[in-house]
Structure 1
Amino acid sequence: MFAIGDKVSVLDDAINGIVLKINGALVTIETEDGFELNFNQKELIRIHSNSDFLQNIAQTNFSSVAKEKEIPKPRSFVKEKKSSKDDFVLEIDLHIEKLVPNKRGMSNYDILNIQTETIKRQMDFAQRNRIPKVVFIHGVGEGVLKSELDFLLGRYENISFQDANYQKYGVGATEVYFIQKKKLL
């Protein structure tokens, strides 16, 4: 790694010198101040002479270095403008734990009543605010809530509903789309 006469620098100190002796991993250097000090090879680094430095500069491909440093130009693309209402989906989780702080002492009838009232309230809210899509998350269970939801949704006009996206919601969700009436000029 090192040869006698190499110029070296100590990694953790501001000491430079010339290699005098090499004994295995132990290297003896003479510092610029004339002291002889011993260091492990791992503690030293070779300093190249000015001619080596100039030779390295001459061999450097500056165009590739400049290309690495270049800031990439932002990609240009035309962004489609969408209404914020098109992106918004109202998601309502009908699990009773999400609707009330404590379900202790409630019968199945009470739970189903709270869930159906929530469905009615959210449907009215979506219609008033012209929200195009609502997703009701009802879970799988025994299907009682899903059948009640289907019954309630069947009573509304100008909507269509179907099972929600399986990849996003799994089996236990229903999507409701509001059919917006177009205004005549």
Structure 2
Amino acid sequence: MRFKIGDTVAVLDDVIKGEVVAIKNNKICIESTDGFEFDFNENELVLIKENQAELSKYSDLKNEDLLEKIHETSPKKHTPKFKSTIKQDQIPPMEVDLHINQLIDSTRGMDKIDILTLQMDTAKQKLEFAIRNRFPKIIFIHGVGEGVLKTELEYLFKKYQVDWYAASFKKYGLGATEVYIYQNTKK
């Protein structure tokens, strides 16, 4: 078994995330973030080593602030004096996961309108951040669901100088939209 009690896991083909609470008869029982217990086979789960919030905690900082923050937190080592050879078009696009369980810990007391409003506010904030900081592309992971969030995102995109299309099916499945941001546009 590669999982142990207390591990944080996510279900591969669903938006369920939780903590391993028991292992019995080759089944792994997890308690979801909503408090429900589910049994899964080992091959249906993936171990989460770091929370997405931890991975993207610097995403709202400006580039200079980010470099300064990384420099402060990284151990003092001899840094090589060379310039990166990565070209602008080789930089991977910024990804924003709009699944509600990635944005907040609990949806208790929220109805569907509250959830959609939070997701749209996050999308608008991240899109404007990408425009301000001259990111060429941004990917919004919205999931498949009933298509309400995807439709609302398209209304949002129409307000900006951007093009959007389905993101890589191989990487994201049907639940993501890639946005290309036009730079230096005259209004």
1:149 aligns to 2:153 (yes or no): yes
Deviations 1:158-180 (A, max 9, x none): x1100101000000000001112
1:178 aligns to 2:176 (yes or no): no
Report the equivalent of 1:47: none
Q: In structure 2, what is the Cα distance between the partners aligned to 1:130 and 1:85?
A: 12
Report the equivalent of 1:127: 131
The offset of 1:84, in angstroms, is: 5.3
The offset of 1:89, in angstroms, is: 1.1
Amino acid at match of 1:167: K
The offset of 1:82, in angstroms, is: 3.1
Report runs of 4+ in structure 1 exceeding 6 Å deviation. none
Amino acid at match of 2:115: I
Q: In structure 2, what is the Cα distance between the partners aligned to 1:120 and 1:85?
A: 23
Deviations 1:5-29 (A, max 9, x none): xxxxxxxxxxxxxxxxxxxxxxxxx
The offset of 1:150, in angstroms, is: 0.6
Identity %: 48
Per the normalisation by structure 1, the TM-score is 0.52
Deviations 1:102-123 (A, max 9, x none): 1112100000000000011001
1:21-170 matches, within 5 Å, as 81-83=85-87, 86-157=90-161, 159-170=162-173
SS of aligned partner of 2:102: helix
Amino acid at match of 1:169: Y
Question: Root-mean-square deviation (CA), in Å?
Answer: 1.9
Q: In structure 1, what is the Cα distance between the partners aligned to 2:111 and 2:135?
A: 33
How many residue pairs match? The answer is: 102
Structure number with greater Rg is 1
Amino acid at match of 1:138: H
Unaligned runs of 5+ residues in structure 1 are 1-80
Unaligned runs of 5+ residues in structure 2 are 1-84
Per the normalisation by structure 2, the TM-score is 0.51
